[in-house]
Amino acid sequence: MTARVVLIGLPGAGKTTVGRQLARRLQLPFVDSDAVIEERLGCSIREFFEREGEEPFRDLEEAVLEELTRGEPCVLSTGGGAVLRAANRQRLRARGRVFYLRSTPEELMRRLRHDRTRPLLQVTDPLQRLRELHAVRDPLYRETAHHVIDTGRPSVTLLVHTILMQLELGAPAEGEAPSR
């Protein structure tokens, strides 16, 4: 089993919630890359985004992911846009077992309808924004992931169990050679 487990997906897909429980079950530290970034910035990602823009944020995110994927084994939850850069996609896939927590834009909207902390969703029509994000990012998440887990309505416990089963099986993802 790979000692580093990486969770990717759109905002609200459950990366942090699932990641915390998964880390407890695996007896590994849980690391949220967005929390690490905010700690270093000394302000929220939203504030930084508004002040500096997306590119400087993505530069910092790339540097933090480089560092976190070289560190100790952990369960790593990434920001929703971490896959936008090819270097991040390659690094995450090469240095961990990557699980894409896939949700529909409609399901995400149900979960996030009262959330005011996510900078990319502070728009007039957040559902349309989620649909746009999904259209752009879904292929990138799939390219990066070893496994796609549909989050739909299963409980967090069931999602964690599903990931644990995949880790135990060591099952290769589509297009990947079986491990020997």
Q: Is 124 annotated as a binding residue?
A: no
97 labeled binding residue: no
16 is in an annotated binding site: yes
Q: Determine whether the annotation assigns residue 58 to a binding site.
A: yes
Integer angstrom CA distances of residue 76 from 6, 32, 113, 177: 5, 6, 25, 24
Q: Nearest-5° angle of CA 22, CA 145, CA 140?
A: 130
| Residue 116 labelled as part of a binding site | no
Question: Does residue 118 have a known ligand-binding role?
Answer: yes
Has 13 been labeled as part of a binding site? Answer: yes
12 labeled binding residue: yes
Longest dimension (CA), the chain: 51
User: Does residue 150 have a known ligand-binding role?
Assistant: no
160 sits in which H/E element? helix 156-169
Strand ranges of the sheet holding 5-8, from the earlier edge strand across to the other edge? 30-32, 75-77, 5-8, 97-102, 147-150
Helix (H) and strand (E) counts in the chain:
8, 5
Q: How distant, in Å, are the alpha carbons of 3, 39, 65, 172 from that of 168? A: 12, 33, 25, 11
Task: Report whether 117 belongs to an annotated binding site.
Answer: no
Binding positions for substrate are: 34, 58, 80, 137
Binding positions are: 12-17, 34, 58, 80, 118, 137
Binding positions for ATP are: 12-17, 118
Binding positions for Mg(2+) are: 16
